[in-house]
C-alpha cells in the first residue's frame, strides 16, 4: 500500500525540493518503489532528477488541466532511480485555469488513483505558497512533511501551515496529518539554529525527526549536475543525512 507525502512549506528556500529528491533517491536505493511528482512551476525537482524541463511536451500540467492519463507523462528513467511526473513553467497558468473546474481540489488525487498502488512512497514537491496547486497536493496526500530552516520566523510560518492542514483535514481530507518536521540547512555553529531547534522539540515533540539535515555544499551543488547528492557525492554529510532520514522513515512506518 502506497504512502503519499506532500513536501510543503509556504516559505521558500527551506529545502523542499532538496528533501523531495534526496529522500526519494535514498528510499529508492533501499529497494523501495518511489514516485516523485513535481508540482512546482519552477520545475526544480524535474531538473534535479536529470530531466530537462525545457524539452518536455507532457507534464503534470496536462494531467491537471486536460485530464491526460498520468501514465502518459510518467518518466521511469531518472538520475535518482525513482519515477517522476515532471513539471515546467506551463504549470504557472494551471492555477488560474483550475478555477473553472468543479472539484478542482481533487484533480491530482483522482489522477493518482490508477497508479498509486504501484509505489511504496509518492512524494509531491509543492510550490512555496499555499495556492491551489498545494491544496491539490494536500488533498491527494496522506500526510505533510515540513522542511524547516531553524531561523527566527520559522515557528510562525509552521503554525500557519499546521492551521491550514487542520482546515483541509476537516473540510476535504480527513486522513491528512503532519508526517514530520525536518530541520534543514542546520548550522551547529549558529546559536540561533540550536535555540529554534530546541523550541521545535519542546512544542512539537514526536513530530520532529531526529535526523537533522546540515548545511552542506554538496547538497547545493548536486542539482546543477541533475543528480541527487548521493549520486554526486555519496560520502558527503548531506547524502548521509538523507539516508539516515530514509531509515528513520522506514522505521517509523514499520518497513
Could you read off the pLDDT of 22-63 as tens digits, one per residue?
A: 999 999 999 999 999 999 999 999 999 999 999 999 999 999
pLDDT beyond 90 at 102: no
pTM of the shown model = 0.95
- pLDDT average, residue stretch 76-104: 92
Q: Please state the φ and ψ torsions of residue 8, each to the nearest 5 degrees.
A: -140, 145
pLDDT the model gives residue 18 = 97
What region, left, alpha or beta, does residue 20 occupy, with left being phi > 0 and alpha being psi -120 to 50 degrees? alpha
- pLDDT average, residue stretch 71-85: 97
Whole-number Cα distances in Å, 117 to 2, 14, 30: 5, 30, 18
In the structure, what pLDDT confidence band is assigned to residue 155 with cuts at 50, 70 and 90? Answer: confident
pLDDT beyond 90 at 150: no
pLDDT the model gives residue 1 = 77
The residues, ordered by sequence, that sit 6+ positions from 240 with a Cβ below 8 Å of its Cβ are none
In the chain, pLDDT over 90 holds for what percent of residues? 77
- pLDDT average, residue stretch 121-127: 97
Amino acid at each position: 500500500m502506497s504512502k503519499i507525502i506532500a513536501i510543503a512549506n509556504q516559505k521558500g528556500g527551506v529545502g523542499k525540493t532538496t528533501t523531495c529528491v534526496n529522500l526519494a533517491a535514498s528510499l529508492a536505493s533501499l529497494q523501495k518503489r518511489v514516485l516523485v511528482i513535481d508540482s512546482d512551476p519552477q520545475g526544480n525537482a524535474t531538473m534535479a532528477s536529470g530531466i530537462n524541463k525545457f524539452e518536455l511536451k507532457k507534464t503534470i500540467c496536462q494531467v491537471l488541466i486536460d485530464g491526460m492519463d498520468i501514465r502518459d507523462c510518467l518518466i521511469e528513467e531518472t538520475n535518482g532511480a525513482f519515477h517522476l511526473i515532471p513539471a515546467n513553467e506551463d504549470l504557472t497558468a494551471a492555477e488560474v485555469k483550475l478555477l473553472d473546474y468543479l472539484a478542482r481540489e481533487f484533480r491530482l488525487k483522482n489522477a493518482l488513483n490508477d497508479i498509486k498502488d504501484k509505489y511504496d512512497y509518492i512524494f509531491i514537491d509543492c510550490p512555496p505558497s499555499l495556492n491551489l496547486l498545494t491544496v491539490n497536493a494536500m488533498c491527494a496526500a496522506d500526510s505533510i512533511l515540513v522542511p524547516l530552516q531553524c531561523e527566527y520566523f520559522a515557528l510562525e510560518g509552521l503554525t500557519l501551515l499546521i492551521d491550514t492542514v487542520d482546515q483541509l483535514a476537516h473540510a476535504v481530507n480527513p486522513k491528512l496529518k503532519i508526517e514530520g518536521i525536518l530541520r534543514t540547512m542546520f548550522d551547529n555553529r549558529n546559536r540561533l539554529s540550536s535555540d529554534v531547534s530546541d523550541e521545535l522539540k519542546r512544542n512539537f515533540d514526536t513530530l520532529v525527526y531526529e535526523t537533522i539535515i546540515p548545511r552542506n555544499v554538496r547538497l547545493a551543488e548536486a542539482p546543477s549536475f541533475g543528480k541527487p547528492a548521493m549520486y554526486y557525492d555519496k560520502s558527503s554529510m548531506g547524502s548521509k543525512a538523507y539516508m539516515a532520514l530514509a531509515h528513520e522513515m522506514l522505521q517509523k512506518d514499520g518497513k
